[in-house]
A and B are shown apart, each in its own frame.
Chain A
Amino acid sequence: MEENEWNNMICVAGEGMISPLGFNSADTFRRVEELSADPSKESEGRLYQSHFGIPEPFFASLIDDKKLDNAFSTFSDTKFRYTKLEKAAILSADQAIRKSGINPSGKDVLFILSTTKGNVSLLGDLDGFEPERIHLWRSAELIAGFFGNANEPLTVSNACISGCSALIAGMRQLRQGRYSHIVVVGADMLCKFIISGFQSFKALSNELCRPFDKNRKGLNLGESAATMVLSKSDEAPKGSFVLVKGAMHNDANHISGPSRTAEGLLRCLTEILTETDKEDLAFINAHGTSTLYNDDMESIAIDRALLQNIPVGSLKGYFGHTLGAAGILESIISSYAVKEQVVLRSRGTLELGTARKLNVSVNQGVANGKHSFVKMLSGFGGSNAAILIKMI
Chain B
Amino acid sequence: MKGLKIMSYCRITDASVIFYDREVVVYNPKDEDPWLLQIYKAKDIHYPKFHKMDNLCKAGFLGAEMVVNDDSQENKENWAVVTFNRSSSLDDDTSYQKTIENADNYFPAPSVFVYTLPNILSGEIAIRHKIMGESVHYITKEFSAERICEAFNDLASDGKIDTIVGGWAEYFQGHVDVLMLKVSVNEEDKQLLTINNILKLWKI
Contacts and interface: CB of A to CB of B under 8 A. Distances in A.
B190 interface: no
A382 B93 CA distance: 20
Interface centre among B88, B101, B135, B160 (most CB of A within 10 A): B135
Contact of B116 (A154, A178, A197, A382): A197
A115 to B, nearest CB: 9
A95 interface: no
B90 A380 contact: no
Contact of A264 (B87, B94, B132, B137): B132
A135 interface: yes
Contacts of B139: 135-137, 140, 154-157
A161 to B, nearest CB: 8
A382 B103 CA distance: 33
B133 interface: yes
B86 A156 contact: no
A380 B114 contact: yes
B119 A157 contact: yes
Interface residues of A, number: 54
A193 interface: yes
Interface in A241-260: 247-256
B108 A381 contact: no
B198 to A, nearest CB: 16
Interface stretch (A58-66, A116-124, A305-313): A116-124
Contact of B103 (A53, A124, A254): A53
Task: Output the residue of A118, A172, A381 with the most chain B CB within 10 A.
Answer: A381
Interface in B116-167: 116-120, 122-124, 126-127, 129-141, 144, 147, 150-151, 154-155, 157, 160
Interface of A: 53, 55, 116-118, 120, 123-124, 134-138, 140-141, 152, 154-159, 165, 169, 172-173, 175-176, 178, 192-193, 196-197, 199-201, 247-256, 263-264, 267, 271, 380-383
